[in-house]
Amino acid sequence: MPATAAPSSPHRATSTAPAMIAALGVGHDYVAEGLAPTPALTDTDLRVREGEFLAMVGPSGCGKTTLLNAFAGLVVPTRGRVTIGGEPVAGIRSDVGYMFARDGLMPWRTALDNVAFGLELRGVPAPERHERARTYLALVGLEGFAEHRRAELSQGMRQRVALARTLATEPAVILMDEPFAALDAQTKVIVQDEFLKIWERSRRTVVFVTHDIVEAVTLADRVVVFSERPGRIIGEFPIGIPRPRSASGSHDAAFERLRTEIWACLRRGMSGSAR
């Protein structure tokens, strides 16, 4: 499927498929006492279909994480609105999972109890939550590390525990903010592959923020590109590379063409020429 760059006017989604997640005219300003508002995001329309894996790329500070936080109910946009399943987002939702760049594991808890934490908050009985936590630890290749604590795990293992924790609540929507950025190159490929295998079985809706174009093209169904701050969507690139995919697989001509076109769009947004 060919890549398409958005026109110079703000992006408008053209898909007629029902949107699982929607941003409608969203803009957001950060306000500090005694200072003028700092615009982070402007005039953003975005629709994510149910079961779609969407990646967002753009310069640092362009509002990608702000939009992700709005989807999570952690930020109320200054302008516009966001919806999930057609309902306005009015706070943190139990059907949305959020995975951050850092693992955020509680060091006094075992890997098993870290994975089970979200289930514990939901009141799931201990036997059931521990059984489910063991299942998800096994899915990320850590079935032998259930009783290990954070200090006894490598960085890659910690991120896999964090991934298992996010998946264990079986959310309808998974939000991911550069979740593999802190990993070394080899471990990153391994964890990406594990996540892809898990995702391809469940096909949950994913919104994934990254600065890594190769990662975006490898993982996503569609990549949107943001301009520099205040961010707005300046490009949209459907990824037509067949699944299943592997982050360790060979990159063909179509992959390289997409990577080059996304990078060119990103550079235009960073230079301001896309305005």
Please give the average per-residue pLDDT across 196-205, as a whole number: 91
Any domain includes 151? yes
CB 172 within 8 Å of CB 20: yes
Any residues with CB less than 8 A from the CB of 3 and at least 6 apart, and which? 237, 238, 257, 258, 261, 262
Edge-first strand listing for the sheet containing 205-209 = 96-99, 173-177, 205-209, 53-57, 222-226, 233-238
Any domain includes 50? no
The confidence score (pLDDT) of residue 19 equals 76
Could you give the number of structural domains in the chain? 1
What is the band of 17 on the pLDDT scale with cuts at 50, 70, 90? low
**Over the stretch 207-231, which tens digit does the pLDDT of each residue have?**
999 999 999 999 999 999 999 988 8
**Over the stretch 71-127, which tens digit does the pLDDT of each residue have?**
999 999 999 999 999 899 988 888 899 998 888 899 999 999 999 998 998 889 999
Any domain includes 245? no
The confidence score (pLDDT) of residue 272 equals 59
What is the span of the domain harbouring residue 163? 104-170
| The three-state (H, E, C) secondary structure of the chain, written as one string | CCCECCCCCCCCCCCCCCEEEEEEEEEEEECCCCCCCEEEEEEEEEEEECCCEEEEECCCCCCHHHHHHHHHCCCCCCEEEEEECCEECCCCCCCEEEECCCCCCCCCCEHHHHHCHHHHHCCCCHHHHHHHHHHHHHHCCCHHHCCCEHHHCCHHHHHHHHHHHHHHCCCCEEEEECCCCCCCHHHHHHHHHHHHHHHHHHCCEEEEECCCHHHHHHHCCEEEEECCCCECEEEEEECCCCCCCCCCCCCCHHHHHHHHHHHHHHHHHHHCCCC
**Over the stretch 112-131, which tens digit does the pLDDT of each residue have?**
999 999 899 888 999 999 99
Any domain includes 140? yes
CB count within 10 Å of CB 31 equals 10
